[in-house]
Chain A
């Protein structure tokens, strides 16, 4: 063993310096994900792109709504990849995205057709996860379908960002760690509608419910009835109607002489269009009962449904998650992007899907990884603004977004075919927030 120290020459000094700099700089040069766990499904680390899945109804009764969702997703991908005018990326706060994809990877996407059927949606999602390697999927227009996909998300360990789903169960008894909902729910509709109904219709009313016979209908009926009974209204009857009944006349006729002066239609989509159209044809809106004008309420509105119901929606109260007429900076930016791309304003379904995609991408940036366990943690209790609904919290305990809720009324003086809903009240988030314990459920583990 030699004890003679060789003198350090200039070359050795430079080599040692370069090596030390490299070691010290590694975490910031490569990325924060350098230290993150990489053992997760569909890890895109070795790929130049990252793939999202958009599972929307492309056939069936909700195909038009699905088409609008898909337009929004395509726009979101464009904006994430730095194309177009950036949309809500210019208003979203806080923002970790910088328009070069997500974590430096260009965003790619695949689409699927839920057919608004739980089994078809699961099969399509499974194909996207196993064959196309998606790191996240999103979409849908039905609570039953959303709940079925959330369960799959938990089984497969891939995040599902719900599309349009309004049942309390989605983030209540059926909530899942891998499922997130930006859309509002039936409880929030009830809480937002209550004060407006009291102001417009008073405390002495008799309500008759017609309810679609499935999970969403049941939870909406319960939430709205709790609200109206809390106001002092009497519930005359709650009648369940089969999904897709078409002709509701046999259910509407008994309302006429039931003593009720309010009809609450817990229907969505085609059922809502048909039941509302037929209720108006039966002259309910022209009726005077108990000395009061008969009123109809549609707790969950959408612009596409309003288009289907035509002039029958005039003056009918309901709630909506978002409306294109909002004048905040986020909404204006999104409407401008969407309108310029497609020639008409986006629906609330398009809005929630667009926002969900950006929120997921932003969470990946903040987490510094696509690892779902870390992304979930980044989404939980995340507070953001500039997305069209005011300051919003993605509550960690049930994965439900809490934000302002819009109470709307069918526009009496529409200026265009899209100007169908008039915002009568923006109910603050604090008024629609509830204890997550009331709906029960277990989120499940982070790692599956």
Chain B
């Protein structure tokens, strides 16, 4: 039983990341009708916002000690972050909390990235076939990851969660299990609640604001909204930027779980597309539910008991579910009629 609880937690956590990426992806598709293969790259850019922020606040004062030398004969350098020199313990605390603090850095950066991407490139492809949209956004993703590789290298760069939530916690004792049987990383729990909050925030934004109402109306019937004299294009640009921020924040908070490298976006992209397809193209609740569902299924498929009966199932489960869903419900779990249909 404890193993099942652990895998449910795992699945929810994994699903949180899938849902966040798929949410942005389906938001862009639902509003702009663009199949954005660069969305994984936005997740990766968000993660590197955390890395860049950490490097920025961690800029070091280099003191050369001429009395000591390195193994290769050059004078030994002692490095201390400026922020610690200037702010003392406050600087140390800021370095410790650099991942959550980098959210404040990532939001404007990702808004700008989203805005520039949409105005500079994506808008020229609104009326082009989906195949061309896929090609251009995929090309953009490759460009973005090569830029990141040039500046940050190919090796993953570790980012630490704050000390307070770095270890694991015994969840079992809270839910009636023996002590030590359901132990789960604290940061993953933070990530789960964070993803639920962001998802909730996006839904609230769309549901309870006038802006959101217009966007939802535009998703349902773009032409009519336009005929009512509303500049839906401008709103959709902002939607693209918001989707970029959502993907970016998902990336920022994922860095302590998965040390970021330039390729991490591609690793998530395919999975996120499957999530969108299973959830139903253009359906926001569908994307979120499918994200959590597939996360949980993937976790259960990796259990040794399951793999003993169906070897290799952990590697294909997501695609297997996608095939079954497409056969049984071609529009996905919550797909709307008319989306991607002629």
Count A-side interface residues using an 8 Å CB cutoff. 48
Q: Say yes or no: A287 contacts B258, CB within 8 Å.
A: no
Q: Using Cβ atoms and an 8 Å threshold, which residues of chain A touch B259?
A: 273-274, 277, 308-310
Whether a CB of chain B sits under 8 angstroms from the CB of A249 is yes
With beta carbons under 8 angstroms apart, the residue of A274, A282, A312, A340 that contacts B258 is A274
Distance of A251 Cα from B71 Cα, bound (Å): 41
- Report A294 CB to chain B, min CB distance, Å: 11
Q: Say yes or no: B168 contacts A282, CB within 8 Å.
A: yes
- Report B74 CB to chain A, min CB distance, Å: 7
Whether a CB of chain B sits under 8 angstroms from the CB of A412 is no
Distance of A274 Cα from B298 Cα, bound (Å): 18
Distance of A257 Cα from B166 Cα, bound (Å): 21
Whether a CB of chain A sits under 8 angstroms from the CB of B324 is no
In the complex, which residue of chain B has the Cβ closest to the Cβ of A253?
Answer: B6
Distance of A244 Cα from B258 Cα, bound (Å): 12
Q: Using Cβ atoms and an 8 Å threshold, which residues of chain B touch A324?
A: 71
Of residues 306 through 356 on chain A, the ones whose CB sits less than 8 Å from some CB of chain B are: 307-312, 324-325, 332, 335-340, 343, 345
Distance of A277 Cα from B160 Cα, bound (Å): 10
- Report B268 CB to chain A, min CB distance, Å: 8
Whether a CB of chain B sits under 8 angstroms from the CB of A281 is yes
Q: Say yes or no: B267 contacts A246, CB within 8 Å.
A: yes
Given contacts A273-B156, A308-B155, contact A281 B74 (CB under 8 A): no
Q: Using Cβ atoms and an 8 Å threshold, which residues of chain A touch B256?
A: 281
Q: Say yes or no: B154 contacts A254, CB within 8 Å.
A: no
Q: Using Cβ atoms and an 8 Å threshold, which residues of chain B touch A63?
A: 149, 153-154
Given contacts A63-B154, A311-B160, contact A251 B302 (CB under 8 A): yes
A272-295 Cβ-contact flags toward B at 8 Å (1 or 0) = 011001100111001100000000
Q: Say yes or no: B155 contacts A278, CB within 8 Å.
A: no
- Report B141 CB to chain A, min CB distance, Å: 15
Q: Using Cβ atoms and an 8 Å threshold, which residues of chain A touch B307?
A: 239
In the complex, which residue of chain A has the Cβ closest to the Cβ of B267?
Answer: A246
Q: How large is the interface on B (under 10, 10 to 19, 20 to 34, 35 or more residues)?
A: 35 or more
Interface class of chain A by DSSP = helix
Whether a CB of chain B sits under 8 angstroms from the CB of A62 is yes
B289-323 Cβ-contact flags toward A at 8 Å (1 or 0) = 00000000011001110010000001100000000
Q: Using Cβ atoms and an 8 Å threshold, which residues of chain B touch A246?
A: 258, 264, 267-268
Q: Using Cβ atoms and an 8 Å threshold, which residues of chain A touch B155?
A: 64-65, 304, 307-308
- Report B241 CB to chain A, min CB distance, Å: 27
Whether a CB of chain A sits under 8 angstroms from the CB of B283 is no
With beta carbons under 8 angstroms apart, the residue of B3, B153, B168, B315 that contacts A257 is B3
Q: Say yes or no: B7 contacts A339, CB within 8 Å.
A: no
- Report B174 CB to chain A, min CB distance, Å: 16
Q: Say yes or no: A254 contacts B303, CB within 8 Å.
A: yes
Distance of A225 Cα from B70 Cα, bound (Å): 39
Q: What 13 new A-B contacts, CB under 8 Å, besides A308-B156, A339-B73?
A: A63-B153, A249-B14, A250-B298, A254-B6, A273-B156, A274-B259, A277-B158, A281-B256, A282-B168, A310-B160, A310-B259, A336-B72, A337-B72
The 8 closest A-B CB pairs, nearest first, are A339-B72, A283-B168, A310-B158, A63-B154, A250-B302, A281-B185, A64-B155, A253-B6
- Chain A interface residues (CB < 8 Å from chain B): 59-65, 237, 239, 242, 244, 246-247, 249-251, 253-254, 256-257, 270, 273-274, 277-278, 281-283, 286-287, 304, 307-312, 324-325, 332, 335-340, 343, 345
17 pairs of residues in contact across A and B, judged by CB atoms under 8 Å: A237-B304, A246-B267, A247-B14, A249-B13, A249-B299, A253-B3, A254-B3, A256-B6, A270-B261, A278-B257, A286-B168, A287-B183, A308-B157, A309-B259, A311-B158, A311-B160, A339-B73
